[in-house]
Structure 1
Amino acid sequence: MTLILASRPNVYSSSPLDRIATRREDPDWIAAKLADPETLFVPVWRTRNLVRTTDDGTPEAVYLSGATAHALRMEQDGPWAFLGILEARAVFAIDISATDDPVPLLPETLGTFVDLRSVGWGVPRPEASVLAHARGLMHWRQRSKFCSLCGNPCEVKSSGHMLLCTVCNTQHFPRTDPAVIMLVHRGDKALLGHSTRFPRATMYSTLAGFVEPGETLEEAVRREVLEESGIQVGDVHYHSSQPWPFPGNIMLGFYAEGLTEEITIDPEELKDARWFSRDQMRNCDQHGFALPRVDSIARRLIEDWLAHG
């Protein structure tokens, strides 16, 4: 099987931040940075990020600083976390979900709170990684206020990166669930499936699934493909990974060699699965189907495979 390398970084990767984790345990330094007017804040409202569109139609992240950021923090007093350093300035995520309408809290024309996946990041942008980082961490903070072991309240530690149970002292850390995503190919065709969860009725994408305990990534690829499509898989080669904080995943991308052709779908996972030729995938509109979104690793797997044939 020809080894296909990633042609460029994935969207939501290439973070420009120095996470400088040692500073998380320095309360005096954190307090000084929270009060510093030069510090940048990344607001998150009900899993949505603040984004504006430039004159040329390009999406752009909005960071808050100075009086605007100070007023927002004082008004909301919601969960926050230290993200890192960007060009010598501290960066914090702040959750303002407690307000029903965030617009009055911000200057006019500053931007709009949107789902990152709706922005259409066509190419990797470092700022998209910062927004994804903030979204994922604030999602965890909002949903992890109580100890999963004994049910008692937790207190925030490590500048928002750890929760400590106030009764049993269990430590809780942000959760990232690994999922494999793979383009199965055989000759000049690749396997794509349509799931009932897809936002578009005509969309076909690569297969994917979560890694189970005690399982290697390659074993997870072979198991998921077999379970969902009935296709036997041989060689498995790594392509790249992508943070996917929707809500808390890391997508691990692979190419997988299909050893069989007959498809038997799992109706609970897929509505349909087919082998598509390169010509069909390059002209999907003409053939009545759509490829996955441009910011996804699924699309990158497809595009890099098409470029090698």
Structure 2
Amino acid sequence: MIPIRARRPNPYSASPLDRASARREDAAFLAAARESPDSLFVPVWRGQSLLAGEAEAVRGVFLAGAEADPWRVDAPWAFLGLWQERPVFAIDCGAAEAPPAFDAPAFGETARFADLRAAAGALPEAEAAILAHARGLLHWRARHRFCGVCGAACEARSGGNTLVCTRCETPHFPRTDPAVIMLVVQGDAALLGHSPRFPVPEMYSTLAGFVEPGESLEEAVAREVFEETGVRVGAVTYHSSQPWPFPASLMLGFYAAAQSTEIVLDPAELSDARWFSRADIRNHKALGFRLPRGDSIARRLIEDWLESG
């Protein structure tokens, strides 16, 4: 199978940030940066990002100056890095029972908290990546408040990028779960499946699953495809990766060459799986099925395969 290269960056993977990890232990720098009117603050409320605008004009709202003053002291925060030399912090607004209201003067309207996935296709690439970074890091912080070793409370260190147990002093680092996502192909046909968990009833997508301990990525691809569809695969080639902070995954994209075509479904995972030709996929609307969302690596795998043939 001829490798198919990624033709453009995946959504959430074009971060403009210098993560400046060497500054995370610099308490004086962090204190001054948090007080600086030039610093940018990325608010997250219970997994939702602050957005303004509509349709193709959606933008992320980054607070600075007086807009950020209410959140400089009490809200949990994390240093994300530098954007054009300006410090950028994530701030957790989740303690508020209702989403806080912010003005967005540049848009002449009030900003609102919303699911990042609903707007990612319209957001500028840099903004989408920063918002995803903030969401993922704060999700980890909110769910690892206590030590997994002794159960005591943890406190943030290293600019909010590490948690340390207050009793046994075990350090805990942000967790990312690796998942393989693959388009299985044979000649002019690709294997797509439908899960009852999909939010769109008519959607067919690539297969995917988490990497298990002691397993290579190629082994995970072959195992997941066989478990879900009964199809055997041979050559596995890498395409690209995508951070997916919904809640905390790194999606590793592959193409897999099928060695068999008979489908035997695992009903716990899929309600249907079919082989589709390129013509079928290009004509998916007329045929009554939908493809995965535009901000997903699944869609990029499909589109790049379509363009290769």
TMscore range, shorter length: over 0.9
Q: Distance in 2 between matches of 1:2 and 1:124?
A: 32
Partner amino acid for 1:30? L
Is 1:121 matched with 2:121?
yes
When normalised by structure 1's length, the TM-score is 0.96
Q: Give the Å deviation of 1:124.
A: 6.6
Asked whether the 8 Å contact 2:40–2:63 carries over to 1, the reply is: yes
Is 1:39 matched with 2:36?
no
Partner amino acid for 2:66? A
Sequence identity percentage = 59
The SS at the match of 1:208 is strand
Asked whether the 8 Å contact 2:241–2:251 carries over to 1, the reply is: yes
Partner residue in 1 for 2:242: 242
The SS at the match of 2:56 is coil
Q: 1:205 to 1:227 in 2, by over 3 A?
A: same
Q: Distance in 2 between matches of 1:203 and 1:122?
A: 21
Q: Distance in 2 between matches of 1:41 and 1:288?
A: 43
Q: Distance in 2 between matches of 1:237 and 1:104?
A: 47
Q: Please, which moves more after superposition, 177-186 or 118-127?
A: 118-127
Partner residue in 1 for 2:270: 270
CA offsets, 1:184-203, max 9 Å, x none?
Answer: 00111000000111001000
Partner residue in 2 for 1:188: 188
Q: Please, which moves more after superposition, 158-167 or 115-124?
A: 115-124
Q: Distance in 2 between matches of 1:234 and 1:123?
A: 38
Asked whether the 8 Å contact 1:13–1:124 carries over to 2, the reply is: no
Q: Distance in 1 between matches of 2:40 and 2:7?
A: 32
Note the 1:126-137 alignment, pairs <5 A: 126-137=126-137
Q: Distance in 1 between matches of 2:14 and 2:77?
A: 23
Note the 1:41-190 alignment, pairs <5 A: 41-53=41-53, 57-74=56-73, 77-104=74-101, 106=103, 109-121=109-121, 125-190=125-190
Q: Give the Å deviation of 1:120.
A: 4.4
Asked whether the 8 Å contact 2:121–2:294 carries over to 1, the reply is: yes
Q: Please, which moves more after superposition, 2-11 or 106-115?
A: 106-115
- Matched residues, number: 306
When normalised by structure 2's length, the TM-score is 0.96
Partner residue in 2 for 1:287: 287
Partner residue in 1 for 2:29: 29
Q: 1:123 to 1:116 in 2, by over 3 A?
A: closer
Q: Distance in 2 between matches of 1:73 and 1:223?
A: 48
Q: Distance in 1 between matches of 2:22 and 2:45?
A: 28
Q: 1:123 to 1:305 in 2, by over 3 A?
A: farther
Is 1:252 matched with 2:249?
no
The SS at the match of 1:128 is helix
Give the gaps of 5 or more residues in structure 2.
Answer: none
Q: Give the Å deviation of 1:253.
A: 0.2
